[in-house]
Amino acid sequence: MQHRRLGLTLGPVLYLWDEARWRDFYFRVADEAEVDTVVVGETICSKREHFHANVTTAVVDRLAAAGKTVRLASLALVTLERERKSVRRLAEQDALELEVGELSAHAALRGKPHSVGPLVNVYNAATAQVLGARGAVAICLPAELPMHSIAQICQSMPAMRFEVFGFGRVPLAISARCAHARFKGLTRDNCQFVCGDDPDGLPVDTLDGQPFLALNGVQTVSSTCHAVIGDLGSLRNAGVDAIRLSPQVCDMVAVSRIFRAVIDGSLDAGDAWSRLGEAYPEAQFANGFLHSRPGHHLVLQ
């Protein structure tokens, strides 16, 4: 059976980075990263949107000029009227494909072709089929899915483009309240954007000092960095079309090149793990979800 070559997608920055850091990150991605598609936009907290509003057009133009396919991302949790208006504005634009972060954006598109992000709970083939019938043309499956579920979903819809969350802290939950602000003695309404003090997430340990989770504003992410670098062949065989890399405070250009080299067969998995450790030395890597194990486990093939 002939399989398509795995593509690479760079997901949106989930954390609050200041304007210059955010812009320069994407400019470097445009010029140097080995990715095919880049998702741009605020998915976590609408209060952050103004930090990048003045440079978003320049970032999109730079990425497109470099030959990258660009998607715009929508919020993962919509609770306010201004957030609903923002979703409607994104749904009405036709210049770029929209990646929906939750189902109100999916409904607002009214059958227009779009992508579905990993924060939408697509855990079975029936859900993927419903979304596909309503206009979805690409779905990034949640990181919690084991390999056998991924294969079942992908093989049920061969015409759909499926991505798998393949690198980064796993997005686990999102809330209307901000634990990050509460931890620092503030509220969401008066948060003073303290999440910007932790551009790679705020670590949370258990009572006995073991790494547990990380806070990112209203979002909770894993303490470990999910990485499927040793499972790319199996994912391709399962029917996956692309691997998603989620930006962290590390050398994401190097990460993209490592994944590309393994995909192309010029680097083996053993050397790739070593190089990932050099690119992101602060990370503890894991891939347990993919192997039907607790998510923080690392299973080496």
Annotation: binding site: 45, 178, 191, 195
Tell me how far apart the alpha carbons of residues 86 and 233 are, in angstroms, rounded to a whole number.
39
Do 266 and 29 meet the contact criterion of CB atoms below 8 Å apart?
no
Annotated binding site for [4Fe-4S] cluster: 45, 178, 191, 195
- Please give the single-letter amino acid code of residue 58: A
Tell me how far apart the alpha carbons of residues 279 and 224 are, in angstroms, rounded to a whole number.
15
- Please give the single-letter amino acid code of residue 65: A
